[in-house]
């Protein structure tokens, strides 16, 4: 609601109307008067009032229809009806058409004001709740996962749903995109959260030991197996097992994993008795499993077992608008308490860089910059790793400093367009064919744009 509430007061009785309008004006309302329903509808067409107060009985279009029309146009409007003595039934009918409340004639001004203030307070609370709800829907965090960008918002929705299920999940994404963070967040939001999250990096363990690591072993099962040991599957019973780098597993072991996933049972190495477990498996890989299936290095049946719910994490360069949020988070992480800022140049460099190592690489860059900038309030571009400082111009998406006061989008875009066209012509020595090619537009389109920009 605007600072001064705009109020439309409708009554065919001029004295009462004038009196009420004066009193409401004294109370800080901007009041417009109407003497009929017809006039009220006209005014409602022209202006978005915050409040409408109308007499119920009007010649012609009556108060109930005015309320209905007002509500149709402005669903958030506060609408009060004034009813004649003993017409409570009509008042109820008006409420059904969307009136917020009613006052019975004859009434004191204070009574009207009270009803009005109560309705406005309700309205404020309702919109506040709606706002808070929208904030919740559009959050910037899911567990430890930060992200405000569109792909991350979509991911959060997906995670919320899959966390509740028991299905096997395959997380794919380049290195450092947060596959493990996502796996942990799923576990924490699932019904299994009070049991263990057990992680195993399949590429970090020699193939010969991996089977025992997964399924456990009995004493003497292999050289060095001095005692019996539980495998990760057993440790994760009732919880979640995270199998990282699952693409590196040998085909023999792939088959055993397949069986464990299908039957939920397996044997410890050196033992023939099967063990049953209740484990939710989340697998992750940064290799292209589908390609490995085509090449015959990854079992197709296992791929489909794992692929029940695929989650693809976007690389950081495809969600650059998350960079400022992540930077702020990492600055606080590495320089807690001391509010460190990033210079504009440094932020520009971070926004322009390709980030092949994704969030992990960004995290490392900030950690390093904080160490180098120790004692200063601001991290400078020179504190960043050299490859980040010297991003080639071609990779630079024109990063816009968004002013607090906002900007005129068409004008802004036109400026950027002009700049890029000019640069393309400089690059090609004024050759329009080549410039158009560089800009991936038709030559005729370029010529048209040049005309608009005032070149020939």
Interacting residue ranges for Mg ion, rule: CB under 5 A? 179-180
Residue whose pair of structure tokens reads 């008795």 in the numeric block: 273
The interface with ligand ATP within residues 342-371 (CB under 6 A) comprises 359-360, 363
> How far is it, in rounded angstroms, from Cα 101 to Cα 83?
11
Q: Which of residues 251-290 bind ligand ATP (CB under 6 A)?
A: 286
Q: Distance between CA atoms of 363 and 327, rounded to whole angstroms?
A: 8
Q: Which of 1, 181, 351, 438 is close enough to bind ligand ATP by CB under 6 A?
A: 181
**Binding at 360: pick from Mg ion, ligand ATP, none (beta carbon under 5-8 Å per type):** ligand ATP
Strands (E), 212-368: 216-217, 229-230, 240-244, 265-267, 274-276, 280-285, 309-312, 341-342
215-221: long-range contacts, CB 8 A cutoff, minimum separation 24: 215/256, 215/260, 215/266, 215/267, 215/268, 215/269, 216/268, 216/269, 216/275, 217/268, 217/269, 217/270, 217/271, 218/268, 218/269, 218/270, 218/271, 219/270, 220/270, 221/268, 221/269, 221/270, 221/271
Q: Of the two residues 98 and 357, which places its CB atom closer to ligand ATP in the complex?
A: 357
Size of the chain in residues: 456
CA atoms of 76 and 336, how far apart (whole Å): 44
Residue (154 or 219) nearer to ligand ATP, CB: 154
Cα within 13 Å of Cα(184), Cβ side: 9
Q: Which is nearer to Mg ion, 57 or 184 (CB)?
A: 184
Distance of CA 454 to the CA centre of its chain: 42
CA distance 32 to 187: 59
Give which of 62, 97, 93 is closest to 79, Cα–Cα. 97
Q: Nearest distance from residue 136's CB to ligand ATP, in Å?
A: 19
Residue 269 is classified by DSSP as: B
Using DSSP's 3-state secondary structure scheme, residue 116 falls into helix
CB of 119 to Mg ion, least distance (A): 55
- Shortest Cβ 172–ligand ATP spacing (Å): 9
Rounded-to-5 percentages of helix, strand, coil across the chain: 50, 15, 35
Q: How far is the CB of 301 from Mg ion (least distance, A)?
A: 25
- Residue 182 CB, nearest approach to Mg ion (Å): 10
Q: Which of residues 120-179 bind ligand ATP (CB under 6 A)?
A: 144-147, 173, 175-179
Min dist CB 326 to ligand ATP, Å, is 6
* Partner whose footprint covers residue 37, from ligand ATP, Mg ion, none (CB < 5 to 8 Å by kind): none
For residue 276, which phi and psi values (nearest 5 degrees)? -105, 140
**Quick one: what does residue 149 bind among Mg ion, ligand ATP, none, with the CB cut-off 5 to 8 Å set by partner type?**
none
Choose from ligand ATP, Mg ion, none: what does 314 bind? Cβ within 5-8 Å by kind.
Answer: none
Give whichever of 180 and 380 is closer to ligand ATP, judged by the CB atom: 180
Q: Which one of ligand ATP, Mg ion, none is in contact with 351 (Cβ closer than 5 to 8 A by kind)?
A: none
Q: Which does 190 bind (CB under 5 to 8 A by kind): ligand ATP, Mg ion, none?
A: none
Nearer to ligand ATP, 173 or 239 (CB): 173
Return the H-helix or E-strand segment holding 443: helix 443-452
In the complex, minimum distance from the CB of residue 176 to ligand ATP, in angstroms, rounded to a whole number: 5
By C-beta, is 58 or 384 nearer to ligand ATP?
384
Residue placing its CB nearer to ligand ATP in the complex, 179 or 232: 179
- Residue 171: enclosing H or E segment and its boundaries? strand 169-172
> Looking at beta carbons only, is 70 or 146 nearer to ligand ATP?
146
- Give me the least distance between CB of 380 and ligand ATP, in Å please: 23
Torsion of CA 382, 386, 391, 392, to 10 degrees: 120
Partner from ligand ATP, Mg ion, none contacting 253, C-beta within 5 to 8 A by type: none
Nearer to Mg ion, 216 or 247 (CB): 247
Give me the least distance between CB of 195 and ligand ATP, in Å please. 21
The site for ligand ATP (CB under 6 A) is made up of 144-147, 173, 175-181, 286, 359-360, 363
């Amino acid at each position: 609601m605007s600072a001064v509430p705009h109020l439309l007061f409708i009554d065919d009785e001029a004295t009462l109307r004038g009196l009420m309008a004066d009193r409401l004006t004294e109370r800080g309302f901007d009041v417009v008067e109407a003497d009929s329903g017809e006039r009220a509808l006209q005014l409602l067409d022209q202006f978005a009032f915050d409040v409408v107060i109308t007499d119920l009985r009007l010649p012609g279009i009556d108060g109930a229809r005015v309320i209905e029309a007002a509500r149709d146009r402005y669903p958030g409007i506060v609408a009060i009806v004034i009813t004649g003595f003993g017409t409570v039934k009509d008042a109820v009918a008006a409420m059904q058409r969307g009136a917020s409340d009613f006052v019975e004639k004859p009434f004191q001004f204070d009574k009207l004001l009270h009803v009005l203030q109560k309705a406005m307070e309700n309205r404020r609370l309702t919109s506040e709740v709606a706002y808070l709800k929208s904030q919740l829907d559009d959050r910037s965090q899911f567990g430890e996962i930060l992200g405000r960008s569109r792909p991350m918002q979509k991911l959060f929705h997906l995670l919320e749903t899959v966390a509740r299920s028991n299905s096997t999940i395959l997380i794919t994404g380049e290195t450092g995109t947060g596959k493990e963070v996502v796996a942990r967040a799923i576990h924490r939001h699932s019904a299994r959260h009070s049991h263990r999250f057990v992680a195993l990096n399949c590429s970090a363990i020699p193939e010969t030991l991996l089977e025992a690591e997964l399924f456990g072993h009995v004493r003497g099962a292999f050289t060095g197996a001095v005692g019996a040991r539980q495998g990760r599957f057993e440790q994760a019973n009732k919880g979640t097992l995270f199998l990282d780098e699952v693409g590196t597993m040998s085909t023999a072991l792939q088959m055993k994993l397949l069986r464990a996933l299908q039957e939920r049972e397996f044997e410890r190495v050196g033992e023939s008795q099967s063990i049953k477990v209740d484990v939710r498996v989340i697998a992750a890989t940064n290799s292209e499993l589908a390609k490995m299936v085509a090449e015959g290095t990854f079992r197709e049946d296992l791929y489909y077992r794992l692929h029940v719910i695929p989650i693809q994490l976007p690389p950081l360069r495809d969600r650059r608008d998350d960079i400022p949020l992540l930077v702020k988070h990492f600055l606080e992480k590495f320089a807690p308490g001391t509010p460190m800022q990033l210079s504009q140049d440094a932020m520009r460099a971070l926004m322009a860089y390709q980030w092949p190592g994704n969030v992990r690489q960004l995290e490392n860059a900030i950690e390093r910059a904080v160490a180098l900038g120790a004692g200063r309030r601001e991290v400078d571009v020179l504190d960043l790793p050299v490859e980040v400082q010297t991003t080639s111009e071609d990779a630079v998406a024109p990063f816009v400093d968004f002013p607090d006061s906002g900007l005129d989008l068409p004008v802004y875009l036109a400026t950027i367009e002009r700049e890029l066209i000019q640069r393309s012509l400089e690059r090609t020595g004024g050759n329009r064919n080549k410039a158009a090619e560089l800009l991936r537009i038709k030559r005729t389109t370029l010529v048209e744009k040049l005309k608009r920009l005032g070149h020939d």
